[in-house]
């Protein structure tokens, strides 16, 4: 049932909707050539972060800890300011007490954890602050290695983050398609077609991410893994007048890797990586549309009518029927 009250006279109204000016599906090819050392099983990494911990705390704060990585060595640097002193613990053992405005620098052959504890009085300070830097050298963790190019049975490659962890194409943090050309920098290109002259705009796009290559031996064991960054700038021509935004989405990535013996280093191999990237590129802007519509008012709510409850009988009448005469 529809009891809404609508005026018969239509009035113009404006609504804002996205309009697609141009839309293309385009493929991009990226070729990489990298070199891998077969002898190097030691990986290196560098981490840097700021920390803020409570003053006069009884509980240590962990700045870094290893997780399943063996044979870790390296150096640390802790710069401190606050309500100190700041106590530094390496592998759960106190190694230093750093005063306000000072730094602690040391090198260790075995690092499993780095913790700090702020023992100062609160006073006007509410937290101890500082900067933590650590340079790590660690075993890759692989149980096998190659002695020559002939030991490699096959290789595989996939999209990853900078640490070699596999990702999907929806991961915008590690797989990016970025517009480089600003709105006022788009150059017009005039083309003649069967339907007449058209104007397109020149837009530069940057695609970047990481590819991880894995090498296996003849026993199907993973013996080598390396991660490489990739990037490419390409130019596309779109109908993208002033006011439009460019939306670039990577829809699929196909990766293939090949290994070849190095031409100048005996204990190295050359890795050839080919990437086929499919992308959807849209030029879009919000536009206002005028439509005719009727003004409506809400209907009245439907309520059910229930009969009134019956009045209770008079007790004196009921008793009189049962009294002896």
What mean pLDDT comes out for the span 305-324? Answer: 56
Q: Are 160 and 229 in contact (CB under 8 A)?
A: no
Structure tokens at 61: 């704060």
From the centroid of its chain, how far is CA 88? Answer: 32
Higher-confidence position of 68 and 180:
180
When pLDDT is cut at 50, 70 and 90, the band that residue 319 belongs to is: very low
3-state SS assignment for residue 228: strand
Does residue 211 have a pLDDT over 90? yes
Nearest to 151 by CA among 225, 217, 85: 217
Distance CA 169, CA 248 (A): 12
Please report the pLDDT score of residue 140 as a whole number. 60
Q: What is the mean pLDDT of the chain?
A: 82
> How far is residue 56 from each of residues 119, 120, 257, measured CA to CA in Å?
5, 5, 55
Distance CA 47, CA 50 (A): 11
- Listed in order, the ranges of the chain carrying CATH 2.60.120.10 are 42-139
When pLDDT is cut at 50, 70 and 90, the band that residue 248 belongs to is: very high
Options 3.30.565.10, 1.10.10.1800, 3.40.640.10, 2.60.120.10; CATH for 42-139 is 2.60.120.10
When pLDDT is cut at 50, 70 and 90, the band that residue 37 belongs to is: confident
Does residue 236 have a pLDDT over 50? yes
């Amino acid at each position: 049932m529809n009891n809404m009250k609508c005026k018969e006279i239509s009035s113009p109204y404006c609504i804002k909707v996205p309009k697609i000016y141009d839309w293309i599906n385009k493929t991009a090819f990226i070729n990489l050539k990298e070199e891998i050392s077969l002898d190097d099983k030691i990986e290196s990494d560098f981490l840097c972060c700021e920390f803020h911990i409570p003053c006069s705390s009884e509980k240590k704060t962990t700045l870094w800890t290893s997780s399943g990585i063996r044979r870790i060595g390296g150096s640390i640097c802790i710069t401190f300011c606050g309500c100190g002193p700041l106590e530094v613990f390496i592998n759960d053992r106190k190694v230093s007490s750093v005063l306000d405005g000072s730094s602690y620098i040391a090198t260790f052959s075995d690092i499993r954890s780095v913790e700090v504890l702020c023992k100062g009085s609160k006073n006007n300070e509410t937290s101890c602050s500082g900067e933590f830097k650590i340079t790590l050298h660690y075993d890759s963790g692989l149980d096998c290695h190659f002695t020559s190019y002939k030991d490699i049975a096959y290789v595989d490659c996939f999209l990853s983050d900078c640490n070699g962890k596999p990702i999907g194409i929806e991961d915008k943090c590690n797989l990016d398609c970025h517009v480089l050309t600003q709105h006022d920098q788009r150059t017009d290109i005039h083309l003649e077609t069967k339907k007449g002259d058209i104007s397109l705009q020149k837009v530069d796009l940057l695609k970047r991410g990481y590819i991880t290559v894995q090498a296996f031996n003849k026993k199907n064991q993973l013996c080598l893994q390396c991660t490489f960054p990739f990037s490419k700038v390409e130019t596309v021509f779109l109908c993208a007048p002033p006011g439009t935004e460019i939306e670039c989405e990577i829809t699929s990535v196909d990766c293939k890797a090949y290994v070849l013996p190095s031409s100048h280093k005996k204990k190295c191999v050359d890795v050839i990586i080919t990437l086929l990237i499919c992308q959807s590129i849209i030029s879009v802007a919000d536009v206002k549309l005028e439509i005719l519509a009727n003004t409506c008012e809400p209907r009245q709510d439907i309520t059910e009518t229930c009969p009134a409850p019956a009045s209770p009988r008079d007790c004196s009448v009921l008793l009189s029927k049962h009294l002896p005469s």
